[in-house]
A and B are shown apart, each in its own frame.
Chain A
């Protein structure tokens, strides 16, 4: 028995190590390249072994450090607020739909799912949000369009409730006289922590990575740019300056701009915060295990 266990554990650990390396190594490649001197990068391509250390790419990015910091600030704000609002709305929708006896449950589920299938496109959305709702150049433009609630997550949460929350608990609470809101927040929610934490992560990632809302709806109040928008624009600028279209007086600048290094550095700067924050968020996922075990 013991041997079996050991062998098994070695196997799965090996498998996971291989997978993890497969994920980590490309990132290290990125990282090393972002610290490599530009001409070496162009001549010899990317490599794991650093040749010609250079901070030029990062210097370029952080030369407008004020903007970057503000960008991070904006992104963190909309991620936290957006995720909280989104989870709240998702919970509110998932719970009723998980009650088998709710009349109209199927129609509403269909109504929600249908939004995943049909999309009117950018132009009508844009016309509505900026014309009728006038959210252009406001913080709402970063929070509301497209990201505030998503049918996918509602259905995931509903599915989780149906599978993992025993009806007897809900019934018991009802008999005890609790109203539905109380049931949702005192009974169901603590048991759904793993899924909530998971969805919070996914929704949070959605907000963090979003560059489209900023691109379409923020045109004059540049202090509202998220970090993704700022990084994107830096990339585009770098490309533009080295493309030869910028005219003769930018040619000198183009000579010194580490455009390939910048692409790498931008990718690193975009990812790093998440990799730092994510482990601490995992505590909640783990907490869920222990709570679930106790309740079970």
Chain B
């Protein structure tokens, strides 16, 4: 036994020296980025202590008193705690699932289109929604859903002989509305990422498949989708890490901050914003961010472990 151990150790030591010798260019390459991340992300991260303190600017951040977990209480001591958590997670899961499907579909469609001009045109057009800020999107949605002058009430429902709907006070329609708006705004952007991977697929793979007698559907199923697997997993894992965050513009501005809709549009972010707007409480705001990050972190670790078990290469880390 001892002999075996002894013979294990020296190779390791040599490996270390050799590793450095062989890999130093890589570490040099990594250095600038790591330094930037330390400065831009990690040092300010120390500011997360604000979540556990009662900040008094006269004393400064370091000297302000610790208050334990009391800054977190407001997130849970409300009857809305369940609602906002459910909304945030629920919408995110739908967004991840549907968003991925739509983006991949569009990417594949783009790939199949013949003609470079056509490709370019479609690509430019589908990116437009992403470029429009959510405030303006909320005006556009209002142009559709306004009770007396909106497109839907005036032009569609009126012609069908259906009563006008007061969209902004009826909450049952909004989960669907928000999902549609989200997909509309983001599918162009997401499809670009998948598209880049799709067009990078080695052409010879297709040729080989054709020789084997594959038709178009097989091409998609057996070549493209598997090639996208890595990208899909990566993007999904990253989205999962942000599962407790939500797009403020989408959930606050698009529903026009309408009270009756709050049960289906209130997320953790909007709840914090509404609650702290007047109070300007840095500690509580920071606590909310910390809570969201912590949960996302745990979820992503778990998801990553799962992915590692199934397909080690494609795990995030």
Question: Which A residues are closer than 8 A to B by beta carbons?
Answer: 8-9, 12-13, 15-16, 19-20, 22-24, 26-27, 29-30, 44-46, 89-90, 92-93, 95-97, 99-100, 102-103, 106-121, 123-125, 127-128, 144-146, 148-149, 151-152, 154-156, 159-160, 162-164, 179-181, 184, 191-192, 194-195, 197-198, 201-202, 205, 209, 263-264, 267, 270-271, 274-275, 278-279, 282, 285-286, 288-289, 292-293, 296
- The distance from the CB of B302 to the nearest CB of chain A, in whole angstroms, is 13
Question: Which of B82-90, B234-242, B252-260 lies at the binding interface?
Answer: B234-242
Q: Does B264 contact A (CB under 8 A)?
A: no
**Other-chain contact of B204, A107, A151, A181, A296 (Cβ < 8 Å):** A296
Q: Does B316 contact A (CB under 8 A)?
A: yes
**Other-chain contact of A23, B43, B129, B150 (Cβ < 8 Å):** B129
Check if A274 sits within 8 Å of B29, measured CB to CB: no
Interface of A is mostly: helix
- Cα distance, A48 to B160, chains bound together (Å): 21
Q: Which residues of B contact A289 (CB under 8 A)?
A: 199
Check if A20 sits within 8 Å of B126, measured CB to CB: yes
- Cα distance, A107 to B146, chains bound together (Å): 52
- The distance from the CB of A205 to the nearest CB of chain B, in whole angstroms, is 8
- Cα distance, A149 to B297, chains bound together (Å): 21
Q: Which residues of A contact B150 (CB under 8 A)?
A: 45
Q: Which residues of B contact A179 (CB under 8 A)?
A: 25
Interface of B is mostly: helix
Known: A102-B23, A111-B34, A117-B297. A123 touches B200 (CB 8 A): no
Task: Enumerate 7 A-B pairs (CB-CB under 8 Å) in ascending A order.
Answer: A8-B216, A9-B112, A23-B184, A108-B30, A111-B34, A120-B41, A120-B286
Check if A194 sits within 8 Å of B27, measured CB to CB: no
Check if B203 sits within 8 Å of A118, measured CB to CB: no
Known: A9-B114, A120-B45, A164-B200. A24 touches B125 (CB 8 A): yes
Check if B231 sits within 8 Å of A92, measured CB to CB: no
- Please give me the residue from chain B that is nearest to A275 by CB atom: B124
- Please give me the residue from chain B that is nearest to A276 by CB atom: B124
Q: Which residues of A contact B184 (CB under 8 A)?
A: 22-23
- The distance from the CB of B221 to the nearest CB of chain A, in whole angstroms, is 15
Known: A13-B113, A279-B120. A123 touches B282 (CB 8 A): yes
Q: Which residues of B contact A205 (CB under 8 A)?
A: 130-131
Check if B297 sits within 8 Å of A159, measured CB to CB: no
Question: Which B residues are closer than 8 A to A by beta carbons?
Answer: 19, 23, 25-27, 29-30, 32-34, 36-37, 39-48, 50, 61, 106, 109-110, 112-114, 116, 118-133, 136, 139-140, 143, 146, 149-150, 184, 187-189, 192-193, 195-197, 199-204, 216, 227, 230-231, 234-235, 238, 241-242, 282, 285-286, 289-290, 293, 296-297, 300, 313, 316-317
**Other-chain contact of B119, A146, A195, A286 (Cβ < 8 Å):** A286
- The distance from the CB of A33 to the nearest CB of chain B, in whole angstroms, is 8
Q: Which residues of B contact A192 (CB under 8 A)?
A: 200
Known: A108-B34, A144-B40. A16 touches B109 (CB 8 A): yes
Q: Which residues of A contact B193 (CB under 8 A)?
A: 156, 198, 202
Q: Which residues of A contact B195 (CB under 8 A)?
A: 198
Known: A23-B184, A29-B140. A274 touches B50 (CB 8 A): no
